[in-house]
Amino acid sequence: MFDHAYGSYMKYAYPADELMPLSCRGRVRGLEPNRGDIDDSLGKFSLTLIDTLDTLVVLNKLDEFEDAVRRTLRDVRLDNDVVVSVFETNIRVLGGLLGAHTMADMLRQRGERMQWYRDELLHMAKELGNRLLPAFNTTSGLPYPRVNLRYGVLNPLSRTGTESDTCTACAGTMILEFAALSRLSGEAVFEENARKALDVLWEKRQRGSDLVGTVINIHNGDWVRRDSGVGAGIDSYYEYLMKAYVLLGDNVYLERFNTHYRAIMKYISQPPLLLNVHMHNPTVSVRSWMDSLLAFFPGLQVLRGDLKPAIETHEMLYQVTKQHKFLPEAFTTEFRVHWGQHPLRPEFAESTYYLYKATGDPYYLRVGQSIVEKLNTHARVPCGFAAVQDVRTGAHEDRMDSFFLAEMFKYLYLLFSEKNQLHFDIDDYIFTTEAHLLPVSLSTSQPPCRGNNTVRLNLFTYSCPSTQTLFPNNPSFAKTIRDSYKYLTGVGRAFHASPVRFEVHKGVYRVKLVAEVTQTTEEEEVEPLLVQLISPPFLGRTVLTAGPAKFGMDLTKQEHGVKGSIVKTSPYTACGPIENAEDLSGHIALALRGDCMFAAKAHRLQEAGAIGVIFIDHREGSNSAETPLFQMVGDGGSTADITIPLVFLFSQEGALLTSALEDHSNVDVLMLPKERRLGKTTGKRGGLCRAHGLVILLPTGDQEGELEDGEARGPTLQFVLEKGEVVLEEEEYKQQGDSCLTPGDDHMPCFYGQTAASPPSHSANDPNTDP
C-alpha cells in the first residue's frame, strides 16, 4: 500500500507538494483552484517528500530513503514567496526534516549507510526555523497563524500579519520541533519562543475549571472561542505537554498536563464520549457532535497509563467506523454523520497502535486489519489513495494529504511488525503529532530552559506505565471493558448460516432445520425480547422482535413479563423535561432514539412514572431483518437506579406499534423474553412461525407447490412458500409436536419474526398481508 501511494506521488506529482490521485498529477499552489485554509500547508517545498522521509526508514526502505534525502537536498527550496501555516509547516516540514536527520544520523553512526551525510537536513531545518521565528513577534508571545517564507510577517511584501487570532493547538504545538531544533543546533532561541507560547496558554487557562478555549487573541491573550474539548483546535496542545515531558524531561510540562487531564476527565470525558464544554461553565455541553481529530486521545491516554477510558473511547470510534466505513470528519452523539468527509486521517490507527502495544490484545490487530481492508476497498485508486468526500456515498475527493504517508503507514506497519523486524529500537524515540521520530536522548544533550515553580505531584504521576507489570499477558483486560460498548451504534453480532434441506411429502412442506445462527468468539449473544400486542383486535397475534438493555429490569427473570398500555412521550425523544408525565404515569412509554443517551431518557421517563420504555429507532427504514439486534448500554454514569424494563425496536417494527396506537385508543402490550423452546404455528387458517431464526409462512389450501429459498441479510433466514396452498391436518400438528405458544400456553397463530405483522389475513387485496 505504501509503495502504491509513495510511488504514485513520485511518478505523477513530485516535486509538487501533494498528489492529486484522481487527476494523476501534482497539486501546485496557484495552479489549482484555491481551497482556502487547506492550501496553507503547501509551500512549494515538496511537502509530501519531506513528510515521508522517516517513514521510509521505519519501513526498511533504506535505498529509497537515501535517494529521497539526496533529492531533498538538491531540489527543495525554503525561501519561496508563499504564505504558509506556521502550525502545519512546523509539524510537517520542520518535523519531517528533523525526523529525517535523526534517521540519517542513526544510519551514519552505524557505519552502514549515509557516510556522505554531513547534517545537511539539520541545516535546512535550522533555516526553516529561522523563517518561522518572525511569527512569534507579538506582544503576547503567541505566534501569528501564518508567515511568508521569504518576507516574514510585518514586511509590506509579506501579504500576512493582519490576523489577530490563532487556535490553541496552533500556538501550543511547537515545543517538540523547536526544542529538538535548539538541542540539536545549540541555539536556544527556538525552544525559548515555543516555551513562551506555552506559558501564555497556561496562564490564560480558566482557573476554575483548568480548561482552555479553542481560539485566542495573539495580541492581548483574550479568548475568542471559549468552547473546550480534545478535538480540533486544541488536540495537540495537550499532546505536546505530555510528550514534551517525555522528550525533554522537564517536570513543568507533566504537571501542566496532569492539571489539564484531571479537568478533561472531570468535564469533557463522558465515557465513551468526549464532548466539548464551555471553559467557564464546564457542566454545559456546547454541541452534540464530535470531530474525528479526537481519535488521537486514546493513544495519549495510553501514554499516561490510563487504559480504561482509552479502551472505551477507542471502542466507540471503532463502532462508528463499522457503521460508516471510516470516521466521518464529525459525527453526532448518536453516531450519525455530521460532516461526511474523510481525508484519510490517521488518528484512529495511531490509537489502535498504542492500545495494542499496551495490552497485547490481538483484537487490535483485527481493528488494524479492518483499517487496511477499508482503505484498499474504498480509497485505493489507480494513482494512489483518494480522500472520501462523503462516507455516506463513498464519493472520492482529488486529494491525498501528506500526513497519509507520514503517519498512516508508520502506525499500521508498526502495529503488525515485531520489534526485531525494525531497523532500530522504536522505544528510543517519541512520535510528534505528525508521527516524526525524535530521540528521547535529547533530554540529556543540553540543559532545558529555566523551569517554573509549580507544585510537585506524587511520584506515581511521574512514572511511565509498565504494561508488563500492570497487564502481564492479559488481553482479556481490554475485552471486559470493550464489551459494554460494542453495540453502541446498532451494529450487531456476526453470524454464519449453514444450508437448509427440505423434504416435501403429500403437499405438506416439511422443513428439516439444519441452519444455525452462530456468533464469532469475540461477540456475545444478544437474547431477543418480544413486544406482544395483546389488546383487541390483536389478541397476541402480533409479536415484535425487540432488543434488550444492559441496565434496568431484567425481563428474562420476570415469569410473566411486564404488561401495560402504551403512551407516546412528549417530547418524543425524551431528551428534555417530560411534558406529559401525568399521561405516562403507570403506562409504558414510547420514545424515539436520538439526541441524548438511552440512560438519560430512561431516568427521565422513570421519574415521570412510566412502568417501562420502548425505544424506537430514529433511522428510517431500519429493521431487524437487515440489522442484528444489539444491547442498549448506559452513558458511563450510574444506571443502578433504573429499575423499569427497557426494550428497543427498529423503525419498521416501531412504525407498526405507533400505527396501532393511532388507530386504536388503547393498545396494551406485553414485554417479555422470547420463548426459549423451539416453536412453530399451526392452524387451518395458516400462519407464521419462527424457530431458531427460521421464519416459515404456511398458507392455506391443498395444492402442492415448490419451495424457493433465499439468504437473509440479517441473522434470520426467511423462506416463503410462493406456489400453491397447503393444508396441515390436525393429527399432523400433534405428530410434529411443538407449536408457537402464547404466555398462556394457548395454541394460536404467532409471528416471532424479524418484521412486524398484523393479524394474519390471506385476502389477495388485504394490505396487511405479509409478503
Is 192 a residue of the active site?
A: no
Which residue, 754, 768, 762, is CA-closest to 727?
Answer: 762
Round to whole Å and give the CA distance between 365 and 353: 8
Cell numbers found for residue 410: 508508520
Name the residue type at position 707.
Answer: L
Report CA-CA distances (Å) from 690 to 682, 709, 726, 738, 753: 12, 15, 18, 12, 6
Report cis status (omega within 30 of 0) of the bond before 577.
Answer: no
pLDDT, residue 446, reads 59
Per the residue annotation, which of 191, 347, 361, 653 is the catalytic one? 347
How far is the CA of 71 from the CAs of 14, 51, 75, 149, in angstroms? 10, 13, 6, 21
Q: Is 588 helix (H, G, I), strand (E, B) or coil?
A: strand
The DSSP secondary-structure symbol of 10 reads I
Spans in the chain with pLDDT lower than 50: 451-464, 466-469, 472, 492-524, 677-771
How many residues are listed for the chain in this entry?
771
Residue range 503-557, pLDDT digits in tens = 344 344 434 333 333 333 334 467 889 999 999 998 888 899 999 998 899 888 8
pLDDT value for 497: 34
CA atoms within 13 A on the CB side of 249: 11
Per-residue three-class SS string for 692-704: CCEEEEECCCCCC
Q: Partners of 431 in the beta sheet?
A: 437
235 is a catalytic site residue: yes
Catalytic member of 39, 177, 315, 329:
329
Residue 723 · residue 663 · CB < 8 Å: no
Whether residue 52 is annotated as binding a ligand: the answer is no
Helix (H, G, I), strand (E, B) or coil at 444: helix
Q: For 408, list phi and psi in degrees, rounded to 5.
A: -55, -50
Q: What pLDDT does 624 receive?
A: 82
Set 66, 177, 235, 239: catalytic member: 235
Query: What whole-number distance in Å separates Cα of residue 35 and Cα of residue 42?
Result: 11
Helix residue ranges per DSSP H, 622-768: 651-663, 730-736
- Residue 222 bears catalytic tag: no
Q: Smallest Cα–Cα separation from 532: which of 759, 733, 694, 311?
A: 759
- Measure Cα distances from 427 to 77, 246, 352, 422, 640 in Å: 33, 12, 17, 11, 43
CB 166 within 8 A of CB 145: yes
Phi-psi bin for 167: left (phi > 0), alpha (psi -120 to 50), beta? Answer: beta
Q: Please say if 347 is a catalytic residue.
A: yes
Q: What pLDDT, on the 0 to 100 scale, is given for residue 705?
A: 34
User: Which H, E and C letters describe 182-231, residue by residue?
Assistant: HHHHCCCHHHHHHHHHHHHHHHCCECCCCECCCEEECCCCCEEECEECCC
Q: Cβ(645)–Cβ(605) under 8 Å?
A: no
Please report the sign of the dihedral spanned by the C-alpha atoms of residue 350, residue 23, residue 388, residue 292.
positive
Question: Which residue out of 51, 66, 88, 617 is catalytically annotated?
Answer: 88
pLDDT digits (tens, 9 = 90+) for 555-572: 888 878 899 999 999 999
